[in-house]
Chain A
Amino acid sequence: GQQLNQSPQSMFIQEGEDVSMNCTSSSIFNTWLWYKQDPGEGPVLLIALYKAGELTSNGRLTAQFGITRKDSFLNISASIPSDVGIYFCAGQGGETSGSRLTFGEGTQLTVNP
Protein backbone atom coordinates (compact mmCIF):
# COMPACT_ATOMS: atom_id res chain seq x y z
CA GLY A 1 0.00 0.00 0.00
CA GLN A 2 0.89 3.65 -0.15
CA GLN A 3 3.16 5.02 2.55
CA LEU A 4 3.95 8.57 3.57
CA ASN A 5 7.30 9.65 4.96
CA GLN A 6 6.84 12.60 7.28
CA SER A 7 9.79 14.52 8.68
CA PRO A 8 11.05 15.53 11.07
CA GLN A 9 9.65 13.15 13.70
CA SER A 10 10.04 15.81 16.39
CA MET A 11 11.09 19.43 16.73
CA PHE A 12 12.07 21.50 19.75
CA ILE A 13 12.03 25.23 19.02
CA GLN A 14 11.94 28.58 20.76
CA GLU A 15 8.84 30.75 20.69
CA GLY A 16 8.96 33.08 17.71
CA GLU A 17 10.88 30.72 15.44
CA ASP A 18 9.55 29.46 12.12
CA VAL A 19 8.86 25.74 11.61
CA SER A 20 8.84 23.60 8.50
CA MET A 21 7.75 19.98 8.09
CA ASN A 22 7.10 17.86 5.03
CA CYS A 23 5.66 14.65 3.69
CA THR A 24 6.70 12.61 0.69
CA SER A 25 5.07 9.66 -0.99
CA SER A 26 6.12 7.01 -3.45
CA SER A 27 2.86 7.50 -5.36
CA ILE A 28 0.53 10.36 -6.20
CA PHE A 29 -2.40 11.77 -4.27
CA ASN A 30 -5.22 14.03 -5.41
CA THR A 31 -5.56 15.77 -2.04
CA TRP A 32 -3.14 16.62 0.75
CA LEU A 33 -4.43 17.42 4.22
CA TRP A 34 -2.66 18.74 7.30
CA TYR A 35 -4.10 18.04 10.75
CA LYS A 36 -3.01 19.10 14.25
CA GLN A 37 -3.74 16.97 17.28
CA ASP A 38 -3.55 18.10 20.90
CA PRO A 39 -3.11 15.46 23.64
CA GLY A 40 -6.34 13.54 24.28
CA GLU A 41 -8.18 15.30 21.46
CA GLY A 42 -9.07 14.44 17.88
CA PRO A 43 -7.13 15.73 14.86
CA VAL A 44 -8.22 19.19 13.74
CA LEU A 45 -8.03 20.05 10.06
CA LEU A 46 -5.61 22.92 9.43
CA ILE A 47 -5.30 23.12 5.66
CA ALA A 48 -6.65 21.10 2.72
CA LEU A 49 -4.90 21.19 -0.66
CA TYR A 50 -6.71 20.01 -3.77
CA LYS A 51 -4.54 21.02 -6.70
CA ALA A 52 -0.93 20.26 -7.65
CA GLY A 53 1.22 23.35 -7.12
CA GLU A 54 -1.38 24.97 -4.86
CA LEU A 55 -0.04 27.20 -2.07
CA THR A 56 -2.54 27.94 0.70
CA SER A 57 -2.30 30.02 3.86
CA ASN A 58 -4.33 29.95 7.05
CA GLY A 59 -3.11 32.66 9.41
CA ARG A 60 0.49 31.80 10.34
CA LEU A 61 0.27 28.49 8.49
CA THR A 62 1.26 27.96 4.87
CA ALA A 63 1.09 24.66 3.03
CA GLN A 64 1.90 23.60 -0.51
CA PHE A 65 0.81 20.71 -2.69
CA GLY A 66 3.88 19.55 -4.59
CA ILE A 67 3.84 19.81 -8.36
CA THR A 68 4.58 16.09 -8.71
CA ARG A 69 1.57 15.31 -6.43
CA LYS A 70 3.89 13.18 -4.30
CA ASP A 71 4.79 15.68 -1.59
CA SER A 72 3.57 18.53 0.58
CA PHE A 73 5.05 20.85 3.17
CA LEU A 74 3.65 22.85 6.07
CA ASN A 75 5.28 26.00 7.42
CA ILE A 76 4.39 27.72 10.69
CA SER A 77 5.69 31.24 11.11
CA ALA A 78 6.43 33.00 14.42
CA SER A 79 5.56 29.99 16.57
CA ILE A 80 3.69 30.42 19.86
CA PRO A 81 3.28 28.01 22.81
CA SER A 82 -0.20 26.90 21.68
CA ASP A 83 1.35 25.50 18.48
CA VAL A 84 2.53 22.55 20.59
CA GLY A 85 1.06 19.25 19.41
CA ILE A 86 1.40 16.52 16.83
CA TYR A 87 1.03 17.48 13.19
CA PHE A 88 -0.10 14.81 10.72
CA CYS A 89 -0.08 14.99 6.97
CA ALA A 90 -2.54 12.82 5.08
CA GLY A 91 -2.87 11.99 1.42
CA GLN A 92 -6.16 11.06 -0.17
CA GLY A 93 -7.51 9.99 -3.53
CA GLY A 94 -4.43 8.20 -4.72
CA GLU A 95 -4.09 5.51 -7.33
CA THR A 96 -5.15 2.74 -4.95
CA SER A 97 -6.51 4.43 -1.83
CA GLY A 98 -9.74 5.96 -3.13
CA SER A 99 -11.23 8.04 -0.33
CA ARG A 100 -9.10 6.46 2.38
CA LEU A 101 -6.68 8.73 4.22
CA THR A 102 -3.04 7.66 4.26
CA PHE A 103 -1.37 9.32 7.25
CA GLY A 104 2.23 10.23 7.88
CA GLU A 105 3.72 9.17 11.22
CA GLY A 106 3.40 12.70 12.63
CA THR A 107 5.72 15.52 13.71
CA GLN A 108 5.76 16.25 17.44
CA LEU A 109 6.29 19.98 17.94
CA THR A 110 7.48 21.46 21.23
CA VAL A 111 7.68 25.24 21.62
CA ASN A 112 9.70 26.64 24.51
CA PRO A 113 8.46 30.02 25.77
Chain B
Amino acid sequence: DTEVTQTPKHLVMGMTNKKSLKCEQHMGHRAMYWYKQKAKKPPELMFVYSYEKLSINESVPSRFSPECPNSSLLNLHLHALQPEDSALYLCASSRKGLAGGASTDTQYFGPGTRLTVL
Protein backbone atom coordinates (compact mmCIF):
# COMPACT_ATOMS: atom_id res chain seq x y z
CA ASP B 1 0.00 0.00 0.00
CA THR B 2 1.50 3.30 -1.09
CA GLU B 3 -1.44 5.57 -0.38
CA VAL B 4 -1.21 9.18 0.66
CA THR B 5 -4.57 10.87 1.19
CA GLN B 6 -5.34 14.58 1.07
CA THR B 7 -8.38 16.63 2.05
CA PRO B 8 -10.16 18.58 0.80
CA LYS B 9 -10.00 17.76 -2.91
CA HIS B 10 -10.97 21.32 -3.83
CA LEU B 11 -10.86 24.54 -1.80
CA VAL B 12 -11.98 28.04 -2.69
CA MET B 13 -11.05 30.80 -0.27
CA GLY B 14 -10.96 34.56 -0.04
CA MET B 15 -7.82 36.53 0.71
CA THR B 16 -8.90 37.15 4.31
CA ASN B 17 -9.86 33.55 5.08
CA LYS B 18 -7.97 31.02 7.18
CA LYS B 19 -8.08 27.43 6.02
CA SER B 20 -6.07 24.24 6.39
CA LEU B 21 -5.03 21.44 4.06
CA LYS B 22 -4.61 17.95 5.49
CA CYS B 23 -2.47 15.00 4.49
CA GLU B 24 -2.32 11.51 5.94
CA GLN B 25 -0.28 8.37 5.37
CA HIS B 26 -0.27 5.05 7.21
CA MET B 27 2.79 3.50 5.61
CA GLY B 28 5.08 4.27 8.54
CA HIS B 29 6.97 6.79 6.43
CA ARG B 30 9.16 9.18 8.39
CA ALA B 31 9.44 12.03 5.90
CA MET B 32 6.53 14.12 4.62
CA TYR B 33 6.57 16.90 2.06
CA TRP B 34 4.46 19.79 0.77
CA TYR B 35 4.74 20.80 -2.87
CA LYS B 36 3.05 23.52 -4.91
CA GLN B 37 2.28 22.86 -8.57
CA LYS B 38 1.13 25.29 -11.22
CA ALA B 39 -0.60 24.06 -14.37
CA LYS B 40 1.62 22.05 -16.74
CA LYS B 41 4.69 22.65 -14.55
CA PRO B 42 6.59 20.23 -12.30
CA PRO B 43 5.94 20.27 -8.54
CA GLU B 44 7.97 22.79 -6.50
CA LEU B 45 9.12 21.80 -3.03
CA MET B 46 7.83 23.94 -0.16
CA PHE B 47 8.50 22.11 3.12
CA VAL B 48 9.98 18.84 4.34
CA TYR B 49 9.34 17.19 7.71
CA SER B 50 11.68 14.45 8.82
CA TYR B 51 10.80 12.52 11.99
CA GLU B 52 8.10 15.12 12.68
CA LYS B 53 10.54 18.01 12.68
CA LEU B 54 10.67 20.72 10.02
CA SER B 55 13.87 20.04 8.08
CA ILE B 56 13.51 22.17 4.97
CA ASN B 57 11.63 25.42 4.30
CA GLU B 58 12.24 26.53 0.74
CA SER B 59 11.87 30.24 1.60
CA VAL B 60 8.09 29.93 1.59
CA PRO B 61 6.10 33.06 2.62
CA SER B 62 4.82 33.01 6.20
CA ARG B 63 1.21 33.00 5.01
CA PHE B 64 1.84 29.25 4.57
CA SER B 65 2.38 27.50 7.92
CA PRO B 66 3.09 23.76 8.05
CA GLU B 67 2.42 21.52 11.02
CA CYS B 68 3.19 17.86 11.69
CA PRO B 69 1.05 16.73 14.67
CA ASN B 70 2.31 13.13 14.48
CA SER B 71 4.15 10.78 12.17
CA SER B 72 1.05 10.10 10.04
CA LEU B 73 -0.37 13.58 9.64
CA LEU B 74 0.76 16.75 7.92
CA ASN B 75 -1.17 20.00 7.79
CA LEU B 76 -0.70 23.21 5.84
CA HIS B 77 -2.35 26.24 7.41
CA LEU B 78 -3.25 29.05 5.04
CA HIS B 79 -3.88 32.68 5.95
CA ALA B 80 -4.07 35.89 3.94
CA LEU B 81 -3.26 34.19 0.66
CA GLN B 82 -2.97 35.97 -2.67
CA PRO B 83 -4.62 34.98 -5.97
CA GLU B 84 -1.21 33.91 -7.31
CA ASP B 85 -1.15 31.22 -4.60
CA SER B 86 -3.88 29.39 -6.51
CA ALA B 87 -2.39 26.03 -7.48
CA LEU B 88 -2.48 22.28 -6.86
CA TYR B 89 -0.95 21.53 -3.46
CA LEU B 90 0.59 18.10 -3.23
CA CYS B 91 1.63 16.11 -0.21
CA ALA B 92 4.19 13.32 -0.46
CA SER B 93 5.84 10.89 1.91
CA SER B 94 8.93 8.70 1.89
CA ARG B 95 10.15 5.89 4.07
CA LYS B 96 13.47 6.82 5.53
CA GLY B 97 13.42 10.49 6.36
CA LEU B 98 15.99 12.95 5.23
CA ALA B 99 19.66 12.21 5.31
CA GLY B 100 22.49 14.29 4.04
CA GLY B 101 24.72 13.65 1.10
CA ALA B 102 23.62 11.29 -1.64
CA SER B 103 20.90 9.37 0.20
CA THR B 104 17.80 8.57 -1.82
CA ASP B 105 14.30 7.77 -0.71
CA THR B 106 11.37 7.23 -3.09
CA GLN B 107 8.56 9.75 -2.65
CA TYR B 108 4.88 8.85 -3.06
CA PHE B 109 2.42 11.62 -3.80
CA GLY B 110 -1.16 12.19 -2.73
CA PRO B 111 -3.92 13.28 -5.13
CA GLY B 112 -3.55 16.95 -4.24
CA THR B 113 -5.82 19.80 -3.16
CA ARG B 114 -6.85 22.22 -5.91
CA LEU B 115 -6.77 25.65 -4.21
CA THR B 116 -8.39 28.74 -5.69
CA VAL B 117 -7.84 32.10 -3.98
CA LEU B 118 -10.33 34.79 -4.93
Give residues in A with beta carbon < 8 Å to B.
30-31, 33, 35, 40-45, 48, 50, 86, 88, 92-95, 98-101, 103-106, 108
Measured CA separation A100–B35 after assembly (Å):
11
Q: How many residues of B contact A (CB 8 A)?
A: 31
B42, B98, B109: which contacts A42 (Cβ < 8 A)? B109
Q: Across the interface, which residues of B come within 8 angstroms of A99, CB to CB?
A: 31, 48, 94, 98-99, 103-105
Given contacts A92-B104, A98-B103, contact A43 B45 (CB under 8 A): no
| Chief secondary structure at chain A's binding surface | loop
Query: Min CB distance, A15 to chain B, in Å?
Result: 23
A93 touches B42 (CB 8 A): no
B99 touches A98 (CB 8 A): yes
A31, A40, A43, A98: which contacts B101 (Cβ < 8 A)? A98
B2 touches A93 (CB 8 A): no
Does B66 sit within 8 A of A, measured CB to CB?
Answer: no
A86 touches B104 (CB 8 A): no
